[in-house]
Copies of this chain bind each other. A is one copy, B any other.
Amino acid sequence: MAPARSPLAPAAVPAVPPIGGARFATGESGIRYKGRDDVLLALFDAGTTVAGVFTKSSTAAAPVAWCRKALAGGQARAFIVNAGNANAFTGKAGMGAVDATVGAAARALGCPRNRVFVASTGVIGQRLKAERIAAMIPGLAGAARTEAWDRAAAAIMTTDTFPKLATASATIDGVPVTINGTAKGSGMIAPDMATMIAFVATDARLPADVLQACLARATERSFNRTTVDSDTSTNDTLLAFATGAAGHASVTRAADRRLAGFRAALEAVCLDLALQVVRDGEGAQKLIEIRVAGARSAAAARRVAFGVANSPLVKTAIAGADANWGRVVMAVGKADITLDQRRIGVRIGGHVVATRGGPPKDYDETPVTAHMKGRSILIAIELGQGRAATTVWTCDLTHGYIDINADYRS
């Protein structure tokens, strides 16, 4: 039985406008799922540039290896995603499956192979029947249209309970540009990489290296600040495509002031998508924001924040609406950085639960418990050592996570 739609899902899937030069078609391969589309073909007009960030896993999947290589060309005509089989740890057969898919698309479009990108998501270690995907490509290419973002978002889902879309706009040199994106989660989500499979497309006209710099920065400030379960995927892929259809003047440096609005919009889309992934974390009932301040370095702040965000004891306490802030202190303590306990303070939902190494004298748990019963939990930690700070997001750890993952394949 599919899990119910996450209670943290946005009220509605946002309507996103078309992006000039980007078209989509989806279809049903029958490889793992029945009765739903599980293959996405995205087509981009000639001249589209591409950037990407990928998992740092040392057992990265075959499609990730291909994308890293193809990215050197800087141009994209097609992107193919299949859901249900990760084509990871599949040895030579895995690269063969990539070759078959890429070859079919290159032939259908009459383009070089290195303009075709692929991503897979699903079970690891099973052979991907890529011949089924390859056979679908000519038909999908004929059916692609610009308005199909919603179908694209739905086709890439695995254990997701809702499709994820985001959009933002900006101007470059006075010309309006749009950025759309989609992503899928919702387990095997951990920091320090581009989380799972996501892509954005824009009608901005940007050289691949400029797009890459903008994307890397946006990733660091969005996907790489989230975690669901501390497990880094073999297949994490985030690609950005810039079709150039907006027709503004050329911009050749990422630091160009004219890109300030674009960079902010790209970051907004990535953060929106990253938070949607957390909101749809497997079994998630609460969205948790963890702010760490007063750290000696950004790395220390990050270490503490993720120590708390990945602590099963913190996450289960929040699942139970238990104002057990001692577990937050425990998770801070295990971050393996030198701390002075007497300077540590913790607030939950704005209420001081610990200050200078202990609970405040007049501590009243009532408002904290009330906050813990809500859907959005805010934990703020002051380390009292320096000026570095960060914010990360995660979800609670519930029976739903066990239900989904103790029997994912069957």
Specify which chain B residues have a CB less than 8 angstroms from the CB of A229 in the assembled complex.
312-313
Flag the segment in A29-37, A68-76, A86-94 that touches B. Answer: A86-94
Mostly, the A contact residues are: loop
What 0/1 pattern do residues 303 to 334 of A give for CB contact below 8 A with B?
A: 00000001111001101101011110111111
A407 and B322 contacting across the interface, CB-CB below 8 Å: yes
What is the interface size of chain A, counting residues whose CB is below 8 A from a CB of the partner? 72
| Residue A342 is within 8 A (CB to CB) of chain B in the complex | yes
B91 and A357 contacting across the interface, CB-CB below 8 Å: yes
A188 and B330 contacting across the interface, CB-CB below 8 Å: yes
| Residue A402 is within 8 A (CB to CB) of chain B in the complex | yes
Specify which chain B residues have a CB less than 8 angstroms from the CB of A334 in the assembled complex.
57, 190, 231-232
- A/B interface sample: 22 pairs, CB < 8 A: A58-B333, A58-B338, A59-B332, A59-B341, A60-B333, A88-B326, A89-B329, A89-B341, A90-B358, A91-B356, A92-B358, A123-B324, A123-B326, A125-B326, A230-B230, A231-B327, A231-B330, A231-B331, A234-B329, A313-B405, A316-B401, A322-B408
On whether A125 and B329 interact (CB within 8 A), knowing A59-B341, A320-B407, the answer reads yes
On whether A325 and B408 interact (CB within 8 A), knowing A313-B188, A333-B59, the answer reads no
- Which residues of chain A from 58 to 104 have any CB-CB distance to chain B below 8 Å in the complex? 58-60, 86, 88-94
Specify which chain B residues have a CB less than 8 angstroms from the CB of A90 in the assembled complex.
358-359
Please tell me how many copies of the chain the complex holds: 2
Specify which chain B residues have a CB less than 8 angstroms from the CB of A406 in the assembled complex.
316-317, 319-320, 322, 398
B329 and A124 contacting across the interface, CB-CB below 8 Å: yes
| Residue A336 is within 8 A (CB to CB) of chain B in the complex | yes
Residue of B nearest to A359 (CB): B125
| Residue A206 is within 8 A (CB to CB) of chain B in the complex | no
Compute how far the CA of A337 lies from the CA of B57 in the bound complex, rounded to whole angstroms.
9
The 7 nearest A-B residue pairs measured at CB? A124-B326, A91-B358, A320-B406, A59-B333, A57-B333, A316-B405, A125-B326
Specify which chain B residues have a CB less than 8 angstroms from the CB of A342 in the assembled complex.
91
CB of A198, distance to nearest CB on chain B (Å): 18
B408 and A57 contacting across the interface, CB-CB below 8 Å: no
What 0/1 pattern do residues 121 to 147 of A give for CB contact below 8 A with B?
A: 001111100000000000000000000
Residue of B nearest to A192 (CB): B336
What 0/1 pattern do residues 265 to 280 of A give for CB contact below 8 A with B?
A: 0000000000000000
